[in-house]
Structure 1
Amino acid sequence: MNLIQRLFPIFQWLPAYKKADLNGDLFAGLTVGVMLIPQGMAYALIAGLPPVYGLYASIVPQIIYALLGTSRQLSVAPVAMDSLLVAAGVSVLATEGSDSYIAFAILIAFFMGAFQLLLGVFRLGFITNLLSKPVISGFTSAAALIIGFNQLKYLLGTDIAKSNRFYEVVINSARQIDETHVITLIIGIAAIVLIKSLKSLNKNIPGALIAVIVGTVIVYSLRLDDVGVSIVQNIPQGLPSMQLPDFSLGQFGKVLPLAFTISVVAFMEAFSVAKAVEAKRRDHKVIPNQELIGLGAANLIGSLFQSYPVTGGFSRTAVNHQAGANTPLASIVSAVIVALTVIFLTSLFYFLPHAILAAIIMVAVSNLFDLTYAKKLWRESKKEFLVLLFTFLVTLNIGMVIGIVTGIILSILLFLYRAAYPHIARLGRIKGHHEFRNVTRFNNLETWEGLVIIRIDAPLSFINIQEIKDYIQRLLNMEPKTREIIIDAGPVSHLDATAADGLHTLLEELNQKGVRLVFCDVIGPVRDAMKQTGLTKTIGKENLFLSLSEAVENALTNAKDPYKKVTLQTNVKA
């Protein structure tokens, strides 16, 4: 693969394009394009933007990603979660619906693309690993509730103030419940039932578009707008013009952190769904850093054509895959469908009720609320469940950006906690064999009074060396007759300078007590670190062994007073 092919993956799949792939790409492109028309307008509504900006964001970004992205089926356009993040951030900078509000949303897309491009160019895609699955699940579940409840304004036909805090939305909705516009509510509920019914019949049926058509025809035929049903009204016709974002808006202290947060969240969302499809197709490889470049270019160049932040969507990509998309040509076809709609068909959406768009959003985000994963974590890992729960609650009641940052911090703290308190196993020899196992998990193991064998299942670093020293000290206090400690260092993958200093101190303390410290099965990088820090000399080459069996045999053979063998009978743990 040459440089051009790496930078522009289109030159990998286009020269090898097969005629047999065309039907699948055309059908998938048409299906997703039809799906994107109502979906794009609905997601623009979440972001607080006029519906046409959802269509603008579904044209250029798709084409750019098709040129630069490595996934063959990922559909890049507006998504619900990023739209809500835009609304949450921009609402404190400008009044919803104003020109400056729209300009800020486009400016965020520009900086979001710039951040993703930089992360990809400098191969920093690993930074997204800070978003663990519990954090993502807690965040998306909270976002689903916030997005869904914010649509009550359109579903009930009342003037409910939007908020990115769940409790405020609930309170605002309760205060306006007596002003519900019954006809609007009926339209919205009927649309939800219609979309879900069609989806249950066949996932390939464009339920959202059918709901849009039916709802628009009914409102137009009965002139329900005259009795208070809120409609979209005029949607500008024609393709978006090319223009630079408005950098004179300033507020970069708020815009840049928001753009960076959305860039990371958006990449995680796109990359996870792209990898899921890759695992099913197995005819291409999704490359993380190139994905960042593809998504970054899609957002940056898209912002020049009045696009707000976009990323790969779960539902659209699934439909694209199921409809038979074989290459990114399907996304180009989708973009053409949306472009033709913007040029010729926007007038048809004049009587489209906002309640239909709200219904589309509610059905779409209902799949983001993942109670099954929360139950799974509760059974398997209480600590990670608490990370999910805390992220969920903070996102739900304080703010989305604060919620995801809180989740990241908690994940890091949990990781540091586990690193600070590593698993240390007390080992014994299986009777009649040369294998050693954890004495708390296996029975019929041989141990020796005065000889302690332990295995440290973690790198030795500044964060855990004190805990390891304390463990050995507690062991000596419990077993004062200990004369020799053997450390199985096979699982130790790293040794830093602080840990080396700690081992120097430990060796001095043990020498004073007449206790020999032996290491075995030390891997190359750790041996190098021992040599560089002078630890090899302090330990002594006579106390370094290639295998645990060799170390134990040496201890048993050379002991001045023979170690008394003890056979342990313990209950086996799962």
Structure 2
Amino acid sequence: MTEGTDNRAQTPKPSGALAKAFPAYAWLRGYDREDLSKDFTAALIITVMLVPQSMAYAMLAGLPPIYGLYASIVPTIVYALFGTSRHMPVGPPALMALLTLTSVSALARSGTEEYIGLVLLLALTVGVVQLAIGLLGMGFITNFISRPVLSGFIYASAVIILLSQVKHLLGISLPEGTSMPALVAEIWRSIGETNPIALALAVFGFATILVLARVAPRLPGSLIAVAASTLAVFLFALDGRVDIVGEVPRGLPDLSLPVLDVEAIRALLPAALVVAFVGFIESISVAKAVAARERYKIDSNAELRALGLANVAAAFSSGFPVAGSFSRTAVQYQSGGRTQAASIMTALMVVATILFLTPLFYYLPNAALAAVIAVAVYGLLDFKEVRRAFRTRRADGLALLITFAVTLLVGVEQGIIAGAAFALLAFVRRTAYPNTTELGYVESEDAFLGLRSYPEAKTYPEALIVRFDARLYFANIPFLEEWLISAVADRSRLKWIVLDCRGVNGIDLTAIEGLENLVSKYRATDIEVLLTHVKLQVRKPLEAAGWNEKFEGSMRYPTTRDALRNIGLLDEREARATHNGPRPDTPNPPASPTYPQNLGD
């Protein structure tokens, strides 16, 4: 995204219950004529982009195209009034459409009255889940879906979406509800039945959108491709030879009442949880990206509440699950939109489209809408992210691949669960077996650093200096004990074990008891254990457990250098403490330009 034209950093922040309950107050109270002109321009551009996209995404969701327009009215206005992002429009993005299709198609045939009723029930369930999490202030739970897991899910979703549109791109018939391998096999078997006219319209749509995006990015490529394809079908009387949208109902959507069937809700609930979390994560990522540039705050729990209300509104206005859209947010921001008034104007323009322009959609070919979907979804495939995940941490790369494979081969809910479970297990394993290293004195750095990074570091036969780089808790205290047993085994002259705790940010009761057992065991063999660089959040629980009474003096030395100096192991040069490092009771010690912050290993 490029920088917008308006920086509101200096805008005073509203306060009080009204501003908290009704975030739109923040921009409404200072709204002026310049805002109006900017927002109107942005709304006009977004509407031109939104109309073909929303109809295409409704088709992707297994619904009549008009439902995409319905989902772009009331939910958009509701979020505009209750959301904390000033730039993000809410509507039906491709990912929500895919999740809707995969969630409901297992229960009913797409396009039927039963299917539409279940889609409305799904939107209501998603809205209630998001609203409940937001009201309880539990937005943090979405953080348990890591970026690699989300990326793997998005890549698999992009592939699923592309494969689901092959039938429209080629003009062939494919069975619904088949697995991905079976679908690929069916596409291969049916490729000889390709409709050349549908394929030509699809290729024309691809070419138009991609060429205009390169040579004239300000022009609405999707709208031009759809309009030209529709005109071609009309002029050459192709409506009998390719699938078209056909009759589109004119007028506003009726009030829809989801059927509250307990069995249906139970069947939809797992999918609704996935849709709720993925929709929120997608939305909050987009909202925060723009808010960071414009220097205003996004409230995660308020965003959950606003999205929840928007999805509830979708359920009662013939829509389907909605979320924030990255592409439309980028366009609205780049085109100068300043507030959510742009989203409200967009919704009103969609209303005008439904009231007066629906006859123009009759000859719109499905192949053209499929091309719009395919081009939009292709942008989700960022192969650099895969390489970056593996380069950064192998476990992250594996989480991405597992999520991708399970989503593609089994299902979207299972993919998210499998990826999140693997990432969580990898995290638990990492904390259960943390980096633990022996330290030695490095004269050139005048510091105690890890031997794996500094093999030339000086060690002391009488003392073993150990740095443990993790919070001490019930799962990793046995690992520390095993590590020390191995390290102490061949040190006949050992008298001291110095635990450098600068990497320990917390400790639980099990770890305290395990540490007490360690100290008692080594004291029984005439080996003293000293704890240095003990932070306040570690020292206080130890003191509360009576540590000072049981092991007097074990925490008396603030730094490793102090400990070695006082037990007489440092020579005169090493004992000169020019770089003692941060004090252990400093919660977040500042980095010093003279003290090495990279401690090795």
TM over 0.5: same fold? yes
Q: Is residue 2:524 matched to residue 1:512?
A: yes
Q: Is residue 2:246 matched to residue 1:233?
A: yes
Report the Cα offset of residue 80 of structure 1. Answer: 0.9
Report the Cα offset of residue 221 of structure 1. Answer: 1.1
Q: Which residue of 2 aligns with 1:242?
A: 255
For the residue of structure 2 that corresponds to 1:425, the secondary structure is: strand
Q: Is residue 2:145 matched to residue 1:131?
A: yes
Report the Cα offset of residue 16 of structure 1. Answer: 1.4
Q: Is residue 2:48 matched to residue 1:54?
A: no
Q: Which residue of 2 aligns with 1:174?
A: 188
Q: Which residue of 2 aligns with 1:271?
A: 284
Q: Which residue of 2 aligns with 1:483?
A: 495
Q: Which residue of 2 aligns with 1:419?
A: 431
2:72 and 2:379 mapped to 1: Cα distance? Answer: 22
Q: Is residue 2:313 matched to residue 1:313?
A: no
Q: Give the direction of change, closer, same or farther, for the CA distance of 1:517–1:147 in structure 2 (3 Å limit).
A: same
Match of 1:21 among 13, 30, 35: 35
1:148-227 equivalences in 2 (<5 Å): 148-163=162-177, 165-226=179-240
1:139-538 equivalences in 2 (<5 Å): 139-163=153-177, 165-226=179-240, 228-248=241-261, 250-282=263-295, 284-431=296-443, 435-442=447-454, 445-538=457-550
1:105 and 1:26 mapped to 2: Cα distance? Answer: 32
2:554 and 2:503 mapped to 1: Cα distance? Answer: 21
1:252 and 1:433 mapped to 2: Cα distance? Answer: 64
Q: Which residue of 1 aligns with 2:90?
A: 76
Q: Which residue of 2 aligns with 1:8?
A: 22
Q: Is the 8 A contact 1:112 1:263 kept in 2?
A: yes
2:102 and 2:314 mapped to 1: Cα distance? Answer: 21
Q: Give the direction of change, closer, same or farther, for the CA distance of 1:326–1:481 in structure 2 (3 Å limit).
A: same
Q: Is the 8 A contact 1:135 1:388 kept in 2?
A: yes
Q: Is the 8 A contact 2:466 2:498 kept in 1?
A: yes
Match of 2:124 among 110, 125, 140: 110
Q: Is the 8 A contact 1:164 1:400 kept in 2?
A: no
Q: Give the direction of change, closer, same or farther, for the CA distance of 1:44–1:484 in structure 2 (3 Å limit).
A: same
For the residue of structure 1 that corresponds to 2:137, the secondary structure is: coil
Report the Cα offset of residue 336 of structure 1. Answer: 0.9
1:542 and 1:500 mapped to 2: Cα distance? Answer: 14
Report runs of 4+ in structure 1 exceeding 6 Å deviation: none
The structure in which a higher percent of residues are helix is 1
For the residue of structure 2 that corresponds to 1:459, the secondary structure is: coil
Q: Give the direction of change, closer, same or farther, for the CA distance of 1:12–1:164 in structure 2 (3 Å limit).
A: farther
For the residue of structure 2 that corresponds to 1:518, the secondary structure is: strand
Q: Is the 8 A contact 1:434 1:549 kept in 2?
A: no
For the residue of structure 1 that corresponds to 2:458, the secondary structure is: strand
Deviation digits for residues 98-141 of structure 1 (CA, Å, limit 9, x no counterpart): 11100111111111111111111111111111111111111101
For the residue of structure 1 that corresponds to 2:278, the secondary structure is: helix
Look up the equivalent residue of 2:217 and give its one-letter code: K
Q: Is the 8 A contact 1:120 1:293 kept in 2?
A: yes
Q: How many percent identity over aligned positions?
A: 38
Look up the equivalent residue of 1:340 and give its one-letter code: A
Q: Give the direction of change, closer, same or farther, for the CA distance of 1:543–1:317 in structure 2 (3 Å limit).
A: closer
1:298 and 1:321 mapped to 2: Cα distance? Answer: 21
Report the Cα offset of residue 397 of structure 1. Answer: 1.0
For the residue of structure 1 that corresponds to 2:239, the secondary structure is: helix
Q: Which residue of 2 aligns with 1:569?
A: none
Q: Is residue 2:557 matched to residue 1:551?
A: no
Superposition RMSD in Å: 1.9
Look up the equivalent residue of 1:470 and give its one-letter code: E
Report the Cα offset of residue 353 of structure 1. Answer: 0.3
What TM-score do the two structures reach when normalised by structure 2?
A: 0.90
Q: Give the direction of change, closer, same or farther, for the CA distance of 1:505–1:154 in structure 2 (3 Å limit).
A: same
1:336 and 1:295 mapped to 2: Cα distance? Answer: 19
Report the Cα offset of residue 543 of structure 1. Answer: 4.2
What TM-score do the two structures reach when normalised by structure 1?
A: 0.94
For the residue of structure 2 that corresponds to 1:422, the secondary structure is: coil
